[in-house]
Amino acid sequence: MKNTEIDTSWTFTNTVTLADFIRKNELQVGASGNLSSVILRIALATKIVSRGVNRAGLASMMGLAGEVNVQGEEQAKLDIYADKVFSSTLGRSGYFLSMVSEEREELWPAKKGSETSHYVIAFDPVDGSSNIDVNVSIGTVWGIYRRISDGSNVDPNDTSDFLQPGKNQVAAGYTIYGSSTMFVYSTGHGTHGFTLDPTIGEFILTNPQMEMPQDGNIYSCNEGNYHGWSEGVKQYVDTLKDPSKHASGNTHSARYVGSLVADFHRTVLKGGIFMYPGDKKNPNGKLRLLYECAPMAFLAENSGGRASNGNSSISDLVPTDIHARTPLFIGSTKMVEEVEKSIREHGGD
Ligand code: AHM
Ligand code: MG
């Protein structure tokens, strides 16, 4: 380079922001402009949460808040903070008729004036809360449905807008607060990832059209629950640990963060299977269908993977209530099919 030329290679000239990408993408697929604004609003909420996560240790936001949520689980201060950020940022946006949060027992209406909104949203504001205090990745998960009610009166007892199969989602996504903050979403046209550049406060396209490998060599589960699992699940995990038992003859590695978002994110990028089966004490497992499993299933399928409860596709399941749980097997299609086969052959109860 001559010293009179200016080196612009460091600039953001080739940078695609989330806003650029969504606008372009939506024009291509002909979706309503409103959905673009909705997703950008969610991204704003997660940026605010990301700032809170990064400052949690400094702002006394680590530790428990002394309350239990509807699941009977202790709430961390960050759970409550993130729930407030989401409910106010999204509630005041006018884009949603009503909302469901892991942290609240009942659905609640968004602010007055949102009655004409077509959408409802379910979210887990901070997933993997037990990892907050030990500085391990956590995340936010969300799924949006088109309302089926007429919207004239939001009744907390009428949950019908949310009791739809996951395949009806118009968009779903997560944000991972890890070594960097990433926003990953799908509107049914591929799964795309953006990394937050904190210096400019923008999500930048880093992982367009994510493709989950069809097979993998990582399994991810809480093996402390092994003795409560069904024979089908036990036998499958046994085969993954013993190359002489697995058709591939390969060894498999175990990786378990204990934050669904982090474990799923690794699975999309590297392949493998994440499992949270039912066990003797909790036949439906731990994870919630509406705001944890269904959004992840939507993202898995839009990146070429599969999600199952052991027998059926997660995306076909209709929640029995807004906080219903389901066993989850999600990841590389081949591995999810293998565990389904093992459950069919050796039993799933
Ligand atoms: P949370 O929403 O209360 O944080 O619970 C969900 C989390 C998931 O992120 C994770 O996959 C699972 O619980 C871990 O559970 P366990 O500690 O039983 O392995
Ligand atoms: Mg949670």
Best CA proximity match to 290, nearest among 137, 162, 117, 183: 162
Of the listed ligands, the closest to the CA of 129 is: 1
Q: Which residues pair with 175 in a beta bridge?
A: 140, 183
b vs e for 291-318, b when ≥16 Cβ sit within 10 Å of the residue's Cβ?
bbbbbbbbbbbbbbbbbbbbeebbbebe
pLDDT of residue 28: 61
Residue 175 pLDDT exceeds 90: yes
What domains appear along the chain, each with residue ranges and CATH number? 18-207 (3.30.540.10), 218-346 (3.40.190.80)
pLDDT of residue 226: 97
Residue 302 pLDDT exceeds 70: yes
Residue ID of nearest Cα to ligand 1 atom 11 = 260
**In sequence order, which ranges of the chain are alpha helices (DSSP H)?**
18-29, 33-54, 77-91, 231-241, 260-270, 294-301, 333-346
What is the number of residues in the chain? 349
User: Quick one: which atom of ligand 1 is closest to the CA of 276?
Assistant: 11
Three-point CA angle 165, 121, 100, nearest 5°: 95
CA 274 to centroid of ligand 2, rounded, Å: 17
Of the listed ligands, the closest to the CA of 223 is: 1
Pocket of ligand 1 (CB under 6 A): 73, 102, 124, 127-130, 222, 258-260, 276, 286
User: Quick one: which atom of ligand 1 is closest to the CA of 128?
Assistant: 4
**What pLDDT, in 10s, does the model give residues 98-140?**
999 999 999 988 776 666 788 999 999 999 988 988 889 999 9
Least reliable range by pLDDT among 27-31, 100-104, 313-317: 27-31
Of the listed ligands, the closest to the CA of 101 is: 2
Residue 202 pLDDT exceeds 90: yes
Residue 9 pLDDT exceeds 70: no
Asked if 218 and 253 count as a contact pair (C-beta separation under 8 A), the reply is yes
CA 148 to centroid of ligand 1, rounded, Å: 30
Higher pLDDT, 243 or 288: 288
CA 348 to centroid of ligand 1, rounded, Å: 21
Residue ID of nearest Cα to ligand 1 atom 4 = 128
CA 115 to centroid of ligand 1, rounded, Å: 34
CA 265 to centroid of ligand 1, rounded, Å: 15
Q: Candidates 287, 323, 328: which one to mutate for ligand 1, based on the most atoms within 8 Å of Cβ?
A: 287
Best CA proximity match to 117, nearest among 90, 155, 84, 82: 90
Rounded to an integer, the average pLDDT of 323-332 is: 98
Least reliable range by pLDDT among 45-54, 143-152, 292-301, 312-321: 143-152
CA 69 to centroid of ligand 2, rounded, Å: 10
pLDDT of residue 13: 60
